[in-house]
A and B are shown apart, each in its own frame.
Chain A
Amino acid sequence: MSSFLTIAMPKGRIFEEAAEMLRKAGFRLPPEFDDSRKLIIEVEEENLRFILAKPMDVVTYVEHGVADLGIAGKDVMLEEERDVYELLDLKISACYLAVAGLPNTKISDIAPKIASKYPNVASSYFREQGEQVEIIKLNGSIELAPLIGLAERIVDIVSTGQTLKENGLVEYARIADVTSRLVANPVSYRIKEERITEIVDRLAEIIE
């Protein structure tokens, strides 16, 4: 029995690498897959349906079961703590979560301010360090915050470190390594077990 499967894909940075990986694993994806503006793409010959979501939202779709599988960054999983199976490390889109700030600065003793797109990650990291901090949630261009005096430190993903360098910031600590993961809804994982296992095996084979 080959049941229909819905896979949530992250738009943007990870998308190309993820699509390339699926092709390498032998999935016949149509060419319009790459530059389509459609949000839902059906691939009938594979019995697959792809939905294109914001990277931060992929795990949400999967947790609620409207997507059976998803490709999500570990950064998102750490931030969102969703109830999904983390089946495979796809080892693509590697980067890491780090603490950064202006060079040679200390954070203040009282209510230091930390800006981040990842408030939960930032908060739990500093708590583990024994620091009580106040988190300021930003949605992008996090590097701006210490430059303009909004926060003393930022928590963000770093891939090459180029953006930090160009803005005169330095890395203070590495929080966690990040790669993309294949995630599954807990019910789909049981009910569509055979199909999912097959996809996991095909992908696992090509992960170096």
Chain B
Amino acid sequence: MTKPFMFEKPLGMRDTLPELYETKAAVRNKMSDEIKKWGYQFIETPALEYYETIGEASAILDQQLFKLLDQQGHTLVLRPDMTTPIARVAASKLLNQRIPLRLAYSANVYRAQQREGGRPAEFEQMGIECIGNKSTSADAEMIALMADVLKAAGLEKFKITIGHIGFVQELFLSILGNEERAAVLRKFLYEKNYVGYREHVKSLTLSSIDKQRLIEFISLQGGENTLTKALGLLEGEHGREQLSELQELAVQLKEFGVDQYVSLDLTLVSHMSYYTGTLFEVYAGGVGSPIGNGGRYDNLLDKFGWDASATGFGIRMDRLVEAIGEIQEADVPECILFSPERRKEALDFAKQKRAEGIMVTIQDINAVENVDAYTRTFSDVHLFVGNGGRVSNE
């Protein structure tokens, strides 16, 4: 690579200037207030973790990890997600104190660009994890809380799509007989390649009834009768348990009063490979990628030595702010310009202003080259210069 220019940053790294900072901060506060109201406790974990622990346990592709070496030669990663570090903390410390455990986070995660620009490689996520809770009520709580958090953030229109990876797995295994063949078919879903899926099903050596079942599976999305149609595809007991979970979930979401935001899509498969049960994504118009996602991951904690089920979600702050679409104007402070002989007077005045909750900048007038240009950027200007009294430009 050629030597970078002084203004350049690594690919995918972005600065946040005052307007966007204020906007994000306002949204972040509203969201974390809501999350706390549901009894979740915020925690922080380090940005650097071991590659062999967090890096390997995380579902993020290896080529997307930022890796570096520490002094002893251990490979480290910049955390690519928050769910895995939280699983580590929970399993090694917090689960001793309370089960189920409800934790929240607001942190930057890092995923290297795969191809080109246009997507940040560092982005803020806010999310929650509910650990040691295998009930469907926990799944419903995730979705209801996510809807409430998005509403609190000021997002009015959004859509949560719910699927169940366990159901996909049961159905594919019962028809295809082994994991190898099921994995091939799942990959088509993961790649969103319906054309390839259909062609692959046609090429399989299966009875025409089984082929038809697999083809109809693709249309198990949207409409209210999705669950009924899904039941119609089952033979025997495989997949029935997962469907009744979804049925139960639908009832509970109605009780939570968030059913108008959700729809079912049984073909939904996530890039986060650790999901084991219900999973969901949330979309808003005008943003080309999901603004958040979540689901049940019952095997992840086991990697850290504690066999506990868990569920959670994460929201992408950059995409959410884009979806909300309003940029908050950064608050503009007032300015006190003083000359050295009246410094004390100016400082007292500034103290008084701040006590009233007003933002003030204090500035020695001798250090300003162009007073007009400088003062123009403030909402009000107070002069403590020379012998006269205080002068305001208002």
Contact = CB atoms under 8 A, between A and B. Distances in A.
A83 B283 CA distance: 15
Interface in B146-178: 159, 161
A187 B194 contact: no
B1 interface: no
Interface in A52-104: 63-66, 83-89
Contacts of A83: 192, 289
B288 A64 contact: yes
B195 A89 contact: yes
Contacts of B289: 65, 83, 186-187
Nearest to A177: B199
A145 B222 CA distance: 50
A185 interface: yes
Nearest to A193: B222
Interface residues of B, number: 22
B196 interface: yes
Contact of B283 (A86, A88, A181, A190): A190
A197 interface: yes
A65 B288 contact: yes
Contact of B161 (A84, A89, A190): A190
A65 B323 CA distance: 13
Contacts of A63: 288
Nearest to B319: A187
A83 B195 CA distance: 14
A106 B216 CA distance: 47
Nearest to A183: B192
B378 to A, nearest CB: 39
B196 A86 contact: yes
A191 interface: yes
A181 B222 contact: no
Nearest to A185: B288
A121 B372 CA distance: 61
Contacts of A188: 288
B11 interface: no
Of A65, A83, A86, A87, most B-chain CB atoms within 10 Å: A86
Nearest to A83: B192
B285 interface: yes
Contacts of A85: 192, 194
B283 A64 contact: no
Nearest to B288: A65
Interface of B: 118, 159, 161, 191-196, 199, 222, 263, 265, 281, 283-290
29 contacts: A63-B288, A64-B288, A65-B287, A65-B289, A83-B192, A84-B192, A85-B194, A86-B191, A86-B192, A86-B193, A86-B195, A88-B194, A89-B195, A181-B195, A186-B192, A186-B283, A186-B289, A186-B290, A187-B283, A187-B284, A187-B285, A187-B288, A187-B289, A187-B290, A190-B161, A191-B284, A191-B285, A193-B222, A197-B222
4 closest A-B pairs by CB: A65-B288, A85-B192, A86-B193, A187-B283
